[in-house]
A and B are shown apart, each in its own frame.
Chain A
Amino acid sequence: QQQVKQSPQSLIVQKGGISIINCAYENTAFDYFPWYQQFPGKGPALLIAIRPDVSEKKEGRFTISFNKSAKQFSLHIMDSQPGDSATYFCAADSSASKIIFGSGTRLSIRP
């Protein structure tokens, strides 16, 4: 049973374009939705996170859009750069003790 579904599995975007990764969840008890970025050979690192009481959160070029009624959230990377090439994971948490991750999206930014 996959509690957090992530798509697409892989994504290629031209430099300067917008990268969009989508996630959907099932458990309405989730109340914290982080995104993690992982470079090859490294552990994931927290990128940005949102609580369900807001519909959007922006930090620099990274924006989370959240739709509580549809139980969906997405990551938008504006002006995508080659340095953004990495694997991105969405996640959902209800207590900081049992965070559940999506299956990941491998993003490649073409120069």
Chain B
Amino acid sequence: NAGVTQTPKFQVLKTGQSMTLQCAQDMNHEYMSWYRQDPGMGLRLIHYSVGAGITDQGEVPNGYNVSRSTTEDFPLRLLSAAPSQTSVYFCASSYGLDYGYTFGSGTRLTVV
């Protein structure tokens, strides 16, 4: 099993560009989330999903969109990149409470 796969691993964007961070899991997990990690800020929840077709906002959703058309995939879209979105992005999935989340290896995004 691959677990949670994130692509790309590294990305540099210019301000105003858009892009999609890909996330796929092969564990048949219903719950999936996107986090961003910044120094001293821990992991902040951007968007999450409790199943295909269901998404909701987390702590810092502005500037990001998500969709969940299948159980396996949960892409994160940056609509118009800003330098404040420079961060490491993690996708995670879970069976549910008591199982914890499995994280991907992250995407390091730099917006110049």
What residues make up the interface of A, taking CB atoms closer than 8 Å to B?
A: 6, 9, 31-32, 34, 36, 41-46, 49, 51, 89, 93, 95-104
**A4: nearest residue on chain B (CB-CB)?**
B42
Q: How many residue pairs, one in A and one in B, have C-beta atoms under 8 Å apart?
A: 66
Once bound together, how far apart are the Cα atoms of A96 and B49, in whole Å?
A: 10
**Listed stretches B11-19, B76-84, B100-108; interface member:** B100-108
Which one of A41, A99, A104 contacts B33 once the chains associate, using CB atoms below 8 Å? A99
Q: Given the known A-B contacts A32-B98, A43-B90, A97-B56, are A6 and B105 also in contact in the complex, defined by CB atoms under 8 Å?
A: no
**A42: nearest residue on chain B (CB-CB)?**
B105
Give chain B's interface residue range (CB within 8 Å of chain A): 20 to 34
Chain B neighbourhood of A99, CB < 8 A: 33, 45, 101
A66 to chain B, nearest CB (A): 15
A72 to chain B, nearest CB (A): 17
Which one of B40, B48, B98, B100 contacts A98 once the chains associate, using CB atoms below 8 Å? B48
Q: Given the known A-B contacts A96-B31, A97-B31, A97-B56, are A44 and B43 also in contact in the complex, defined by CB atoms under 8 Å?
A: yes
Once bound together, how far apart are the Cα atoms of A9 and B39, in whole Å?
A: 11
Once bound together, how far apart are the Cα atoms of A46 and B92, in whole Å?
A: 11
Beta-carbon contacts under 8 Å, B46-95 to A: 48-50, 56, 58-59, 90, 92, 94-95
Sample (12) of A-B pairs whose CB atoms are under 8 Å apart: A42-B106, A43-B104, A43-B105, A44-B103, A46-B101, A89-B42, A89-B43, A96-B94, A97-B49, A98-B45, A99-B33, A101-B42
A93 touches B97 (CB 8 A): yes
B103 touches A32 (CB 8 A): no
